[in-house]
């Protein structure tokens, strides 16, 4: 057995770290972007395939959004705005970490987490206000599927923020790439949410 | 008394040692072990799909040769289709990548090894769910709604696992190379795994998105996606061409790596070789459109171009990539010292079979050829899957010395490779000729003519592949424990 081991190819020297967490987060963000954009593409496909009808304003529109469903625009617009603020907070955490400022890093990450929780809360409020059943029609099923997936991604973002915050509280600020990865993840979340907001809530 | 005690102690030690070994394997973060777990588990899937291939072939020989209930046939085809891509091609690509890439790029370990291990477990659990659900009348077209839901969940969990393992591989190549090793200087196999992993990171989430829609719709409403009948329509692209091209990129990269080693020269036109492997990944752009790109030569010039450009891009460009790799490999062999190393044989033959499968797919996508819906498509998938399995045999023979320090006898490698080629041709080529036979059916087609001969030949081909597979598994296991001990650099030293 020892002979076997001695003949196996030896591992090389450990290379210098090159921001593995940042690169992995980039790959996850790319995958997440493809996930959400793929789902939005499917949404377009179904919307374009729906029959045409005359709107209240006299225009011919696709009969996709059922006429009895009202989208709570104030909440959804606030969500989009809030997500942008989360990015600013996440970037503030990077800025503070690079200056070894633990208290401001912690504060920035705490605010990011709270904003994430607020966004989740807002999404739940959207569901409650729209008050539609998942089985009521194709629109409803797809609406819950696409926004539910976004909600799951938001939950992972909040978990990431909380983990990063505990690192900051513990003073582990030596490796700023974790904070950069965290900020990148929130940029990704915001970008896909804005795309979803425009397609699902604005264009309808 | 002493004897009894010592025996008991020895037995206890042996038990705890065995338990320790098992615990070590199931909790490992060693990339070589994770990779071998992927490859080993995929071998079980190989047995399943080859066995199903034999059964379906026998079922088709004559209209009255019914082994299975007619309702089970849908499940058998679902098993074949899902198993070929999800159970065999995907884990083979990931498994060999995980086992070999860190060593090739000079890293001690895999980046986020636990993420890769999570990927393996997710895929393994998903495999169990998929097999169980299909057996219990689930899967595409299945009659048991709960089992169809379970199938969709299984595929979803497996896709998440594959994405996790791919992220780990991409990160390893990008961040853990030894100092001074640029991305374009990494070995060809690692390059091909890198290209394949990036393609998977970008395409599998699209499949996951469709899967979420289909699963939610199937479980709750069955309004938009056609229930159990709609699964193939909305998700089928993830289990057919050109998506399968992305899974076999490492097989093509293996040939690119082996040829210059056999010829003992530096690869001539290495840059072109890198591009050749990269071109195969153009199939990725076809898969994210979630539809087949059929070539229809009719209408105005603009209509013809609208049909020809995506067809050529997604179906012909990947073929060009494989042709470039094969030609450059032959150039290396022609320019260098002409010698044969055993792993090159199954690898070369396997890539040849993959190329035949890709060409068949391109032909099938021509509307006027009228091949769509016939067994021609099954033949193309068989060529690609069995070609990849031949390459996997070449990979085991080639990487064995580096992974476990032992060598598989050359005669076994070449023998099984040659027999595997024969089995592949026998299992697939008759269906290239039997274009009048309907695909996905076992009885509703015209039995006049040579259909019985074709179906018998296909069954024999699958049976022969089953023999090759069992032999390869037995020889690999023997090599692990008692094979010839060799140096890790045995192939370049020879």
Cross-chain residue pair B216–A27, CB shorter than 8 Å: no
Residue A181 within a domain: yes
More confident residue, B450 or B173: B173
pLDDT at B178: 86
Q: What average pLDDT score do residues B85-94 get?
A: 92
B217 and chain A: CB distance < 8 Å anywhere? Answer: yes
pLDDT at B136: 87
In the structure, what pLDDT confidence band is assigned to residue B4 with cuts at 50, 70 and 90?
very low
Cross-chain residue pair A27–B170, CB shorter than 8 Å: yes
Q: Is the dihedral of CA B485, B489, B490, B491 positive or negative?
A: positive
Q: How far, CA to CA in Å, does A158 sit from each of A161, B344, B458?
A: 5, 50, 54
Percentage of residues in chain B having pLDDT higher than 90: 41
Q: What average pLDDT score do residues B161-180 get?
A: 92
ipTM of model: 0.87
Residue A11 within a domain: no
Q: What is the pLDDT of residues B411-443, one digit of tens each?
A: 999 999 999 999 999 999 988 888 777 776 766
In the structure, what pLDDT confidence band is assigned to residue B447 with cuts at 50, 70 and 90?
low
B203 and chain A: CB distance < 8 Å anywhere? Answer: yes
Residue A3 within a domain: no
A38 and chain B: CB distance < 8 Å anywhere? Answer: yes
Please list, residue by residue across B313-326, b when 16 or more beta carbons sit within 10 angstroms of its beta carbon and e when fewer do. Answer: bbbbbbbebbebbb
For residue A20, the chain B residues in CB contact (below 8 A) are 111-112, 171, 175-176
Instruction: Please say if the pLDDT value at position A16 is more than 80.
Output: no
Instruction: Please say if the pLDDT value at position A5 is more than 50.
Output: no
Q: Is the peptide bond before B248 cis (omega within 30 degrees of 0)?
A: no
Distance from CA of B49 to the nearest CA of A (A): 29
Instruction: Give the three-class secondary structure for A52.
Output: strand
In the structure, what pLDDT confidence band is assigned to residue A11 with cuts at 50, 70 and 90?
low
The domains located in chain B, with CATH, are 29-493 (1.20.210.10)
Instruction: Give the three-class secondary structure for B426.
Output: helix
pLDDT at B468: 93
Q: Across-strand partners of B295? A: B366
What range defines the domain where residue A176 resides?
A: 20-202
Closest-approach residue (CA) in chain A for B166: A27
In the structure, what pLDDT confidence band is assigned to residue B53 with cuts at 50, 70 and 90?
confident
In the structure, what pLDDT confidence band is assigned to residue B180 with cuts at 50, 70 and 90?
confident
Residue A122 within a domain: yes
Instruction: Please say if the pLDDT value at position A176 is more than 70.
Output: yes
A49 and chain B: CB distance < 8 Å anywhere? Answer: no
Distance from CA of A40 to the nearest CA of B (A): 9
More confident residue, B162 or B404: B162
Residue A12 within a domain: no
Cross-chain residue pair B112–A20, CB shorter than 8 Å: yes
Rounded Cα distance, B426 and B420, in Å:
10
CATH number of the domain at A178, please.
1.20.120.80
Q: What average pLDDT score do residues A112-127 get?
A: 93
Distance from CA of A65 to the nearest CA of B (A): 14
Q: What average pLDDT score do residues B277-284 get?
A: 86
Rounded Cα distance, A39 and A42, in Å:
5
Distance from CA of A140 to the nearest CA of B (A): 10
For residue B400, the chain A residues in CB contact (below 8 A) are none
Rounded Cα distance, B111 and B169, in Å:
7
Cα angle, residue B119 at apex, residues B116 and B125 outer, rounded to 5°: 145
Residue A13 within a domain: no
Number of domains, chain A? 1
For every residue of A85-96, DSSP letters joined together read HHHHHHHHHHHH
**Which residues are within 8 A (CB) of B136 and not within 5 positions of it... i.e. 6 or more apart?**
B144, B147, B150
Lowest mean pLDDT of A148-152, B51-55, B57-61, B266-270, name the range.
B57-61
Highest mean pLDDT among A9-23, A67-81, A133-147, B344-358: B344-358
Q: What average pLDDT score do residues A41-52 get?
A: 86
In the structure, what pLDDT confidence band is assigned to residue B3 with cuts at 50, 70 and 90?
very low
Lowest mean pLDDT of B96-110, B164-178, B367-381, name the range.
B367-381
Backbone angles phi, psi at A62, to 5 degrees: -70, 135
Closest-approach residue (CA) in chain A for B171: A24
Reduce the secondary structure of B166-221 to three states and give it as a string.
HHHHHHHHHHCCCCCCCHHHCCHHHHHHHHHHHHHHHHHHHHHHHHHHHHHHHHHH
Instruction: Please say if the pLDDT value at position B63 is more than 90.
Output: no
| CB of B348 closer than 8 Å to CB of B51 | no
Percentage of residues in chain B having pLDDT higher than 70: 92
Q: What is the pLDDT of residues B319-337, one digit of tens each?
A: 999 999 999 999 999 888 8
Mean pLDDT of chain B: 86
DSSP B83: I
């Amino acid at each position: 057995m020892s002979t076997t081991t001695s003949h196996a190819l030896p591992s090389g020297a450990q290379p210098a770290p090159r921001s593995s967490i940042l690169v992995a987060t980039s790959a996850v963000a790319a995958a997440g972007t493809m996930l959400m954009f793929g789902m939005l593409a499917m949404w377009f496909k179904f919307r374009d395939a729906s029959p045409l009808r005359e709107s209240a304003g006299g225009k011919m529109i696709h009969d996709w959004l059922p006429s009895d469903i009202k989208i709570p625009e104030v909440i959804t617009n606030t969500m989009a705005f809030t997500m942008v603020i989360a990015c600013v907070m996440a970037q503030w955490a990077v800025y503070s970490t690079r200056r070894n400022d633990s208290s401001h890093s912690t504060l920035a990450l705490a605010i990011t987490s709270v904003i994430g929780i607020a966004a989740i809360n807002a999404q739940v409020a959207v569901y409650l206000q729209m008050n539609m059943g998942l089985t009521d029609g194709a629109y409803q099923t797809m609406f819950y599927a696409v926004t539910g997936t976004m909600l799951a991604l938001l939950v992972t973002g909040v978990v990431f923020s909380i983990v990063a915050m505990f690192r900051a509280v513990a003073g582990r600020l030596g490796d700023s790439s974790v904070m950069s990865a965290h900020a990148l993840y929130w940029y990704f979340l915001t970008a896909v949410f804005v795309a979803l907001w425009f397609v699902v809530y604005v264009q309808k | 008394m002493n004897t009894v005690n010592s025996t008991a102690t020895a037995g206890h030690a042996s038990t705890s040692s065995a338990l320790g070994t098992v615990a070590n394997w199931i909790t490992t973060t060693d990339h070589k072990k994770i990779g071998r777990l992927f490859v080993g588990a995929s071998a079980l899937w190989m047995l399943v799909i080859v066995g199903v291939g034999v059964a379906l072939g026998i079922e088709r020989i004559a209209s009255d040769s019914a082994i299975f209930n007619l309702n089970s046939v849908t499940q058998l085809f679902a098993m074949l289709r899902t198993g070929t891509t999800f159970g065999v091609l995907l884990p083979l690509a990931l498994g060999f990548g995980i086992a070999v890439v860190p060593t090739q790029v000079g890293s001690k370990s895999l980046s986020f090894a636990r993420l890769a291990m999570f990927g393996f477990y997710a895929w393994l659990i998903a495999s169990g769910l998929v097999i169980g659900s299909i057996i219990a009348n689930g899967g595409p077209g299945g009659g048991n709604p709960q089992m169809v839901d379970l199938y969709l969940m299984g595929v979803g969990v497996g896709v998440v696992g594959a994405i996790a393992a791919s992220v780990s591989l991409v990160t390893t190549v990008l961040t853990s190379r030894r100092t001074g090793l640029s991305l374009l200087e990494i070995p060809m196999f690692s390059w091909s795994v890198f290209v394949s992993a990036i393609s998977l990171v970008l395409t599998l989430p699209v499949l996951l998105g469709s899967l979420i829609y289909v699963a939610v719709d199937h479980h709750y409403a069955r309004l938009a996606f056609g229930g159990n009948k709609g699964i193939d329509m909305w998700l089928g692209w993830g289990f057919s061409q050109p998506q399968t091209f992305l899974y076999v990129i490492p097989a093509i990269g293996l040939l690119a790596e082996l040829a210059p080693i056999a010829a003992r020269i530096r690869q001539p036109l290495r840059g072109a070789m890198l591009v050749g492997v990269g071109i195969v990944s153009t199939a990725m752009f076809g898969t994210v459109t979630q539809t087949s790109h059929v070539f229809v030569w009719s209408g105005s010039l603009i209509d013809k171009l609208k049909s020809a450009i995506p067809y050529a891009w997604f179906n012909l460009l990947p073929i060009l990539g494989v042709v470039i790799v094969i030609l450059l490999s032959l150039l290396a062999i022609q320019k260098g010292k002409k010698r044969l190393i055993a792993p090159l044989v199954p690898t070369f033959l396997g890539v040849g079979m993959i190329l035949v499968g890709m060409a068949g797919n391109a032909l099938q996508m021509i509307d006027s050829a009228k091949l769509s819906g016939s067994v021609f498509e099954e033949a193309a998938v068989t060529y690609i899957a069995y070609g990849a399995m031949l390459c996997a045999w070449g990979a085991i023979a080639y990487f064995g010395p580096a992974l476990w320090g032992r060598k598989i006898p050359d005669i076994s490698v070449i023998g099984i490779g040659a027999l595997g080629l024969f089995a592949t041709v026998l299992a697939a080529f008759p269906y290239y000729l039997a274009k009048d036979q309907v695909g996905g059916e076992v009885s509703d087609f015209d039995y006049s003519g040579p259909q019985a001969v074709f179906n018998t030949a296909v069954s024999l081909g699958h049976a022969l592949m089953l023999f090759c597979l069992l032999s390869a598994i037995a020889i690999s296991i023997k090599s692990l424990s008692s094979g010839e001990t060799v140096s890790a650099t045995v192939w370049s030293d020879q």
